[in-house]
Amino acid sequence: MSALYGRVALIGLGLIASSMFWGIRRGTLAGEVAGYARSAETRATARQIGLCDEVCDTIAETVKDADLVVLCVPVGAMEAVAKEMAPHLKPGAVISDVGSVKRDVIDSVGPYVPEGVHFIPAHPVAGTEHSGPTSGFAELFDNRWCLVTPAPGVPEAEIARLEAFWRGLGSNVDRMEPDHHDLVLAVTSHAPHLIAYTMVGVADDLRRVTDSEVINYSAAGFRDFTRIAASDPTMWRDVFLTNKEATLEVLGRFTEELFALQRAIRTGDGEHLHAYFTRTRAIRRGIIEAGQDTSEPNFGRGSGGGKGEV
C-alpha cells in the first residue's frame, strides 16, 4: 500500500501508539511518523527501541507539518493536549484519537480544533493487558474493529482516508454515532472491566482465604478476571469518569440480574439457573463464528501457560 499521509504525529507512546507505529511501518501507511510522550523516560525508551522515525520533546514540534495527528493519551488528558497543540497545527490537517469513550473526547477536544482542521474521532477496539512504549506490536489491530464517529460537515474524503488508514493497520472499520458507541462499549468493555476489577479486589480482601490460595487455584475461572484487571489504571479511571452514565446504567442492569440469580441460588431454583446458563452459551458461539476469539480451549493457552477451568 502507498502512504496515505505524509507525516503522522502520535501524541502519547503507550500500547496503542506503539502498535500503530509498527503497523504503519508494516503497511507503509505514512511517509514519516513523529512521536511525543510527556515522560522523558518514555521518550528515551522510544528512542532506544526505534519507536517512531522521530521522537520530539514538545507537542509543538511533534505536530508541526503533520497531516494526521492521533491523540493516544488517556481520555482525561486529551483536552490539555488539544489546547497545547492547536496553534501549531497545519491547515488542512486531520486530528484523530484512539479513546475508548467518544462523547467526552468530542466535547473536550472539539472546541480547540482550528478552522480548516478536521477532527475525526476513532476508537480501535483492540489492546492487551500490557501498557507502555515497549508493549506494542504490528498485529494488534488485525481483524479487530475500529469505530469511527465523525462529526457532521467533515469532508467525506478525509473520513474515507482515515478509514483506509485503519484498514491498512489490519482493522475492520465501522461508523457509529458517538453516544451509541459509548453505550455499546459500556456493555462490551467498561462494565466488564469494572466487574473484573471488583472481583479481584474482593478476592484480595477476603481474610479467610490467603492470596496464595487465590493464586494457586485461579485456573478455576478467577484467572481470566485478573488479566482484565491488570489493565492500565489511569486509562481505566478516565474511562469510567468520562463514560459515567452509560457505565452506571449497564451496571444497574447487571446488579438487577445478579440479584435475580442470587435469589435463584438461595431458593434453590435450578431451572432458572440452568435456563440462564444455557442461553449464554449461544453468545460465545457467535463470537467465535465472527472470528473475534479462538475456539481452542482456554484461548489456546499453551500448557506452560496453563489450561484450566472448572
Residues 157-186 interacting with a copy of itself (rule: CB under 8 A): 172, 174, 180, 183-185
Selected binder of a copy of itself within 86, 145, 154, 167 (CB under 8 A): 145
Of positions 85, 95, 126, 159, contacts a copy of itself by CB under 8 A: 126
Candidate list 73, 113, 143, 153; residue touching a copy of itself; CB under 8 A: 143
With 0-12 / 13-18 / 19 or more C-beta atoms within 10 angstroms meaning exposed / middle / buried, residue 256 is exposed
Stretch 192-221: interaction string toward a copy of itself, x if CB under 8 A: xxxxxxxxxxxxxxx-xx-xxxxxxxxxxx
Asked if 96 interacts with a copy of itself (CB under 8 A), we say no
Q: Candidates 20-28, 49-57, 65-73, 119-127: pick the segment binding a copy of itself (CB under 8 A).
A: 119-127
Angstrom distance (rounded) from CA 174 to CA 160:
11
The CA–CA distances, whole Å, from 121 to 126, 171, 178, 210 equal 16, 16, 9, 45
For residue 83 the three cell numbers come to 489546547
User: Does residue 5 interact with a copy of itself by CB under 8 A?
Assistant: no
12 binding a copy of itself? (CB under 8 A): no
Restricted to residues 20-79, the positions that interact with a copy of itself (CB under 8 A) are: 76
Smallest gap from Cβ 121 to a copy of itself, in A, equals: 15
Does position 236 bind a copy of itself by CB under 8 A? yes
Number of residues that bind a copy of itself (CB under 8 A): 126
Cβ atoms < 10 Å from Cβ of 34: 22
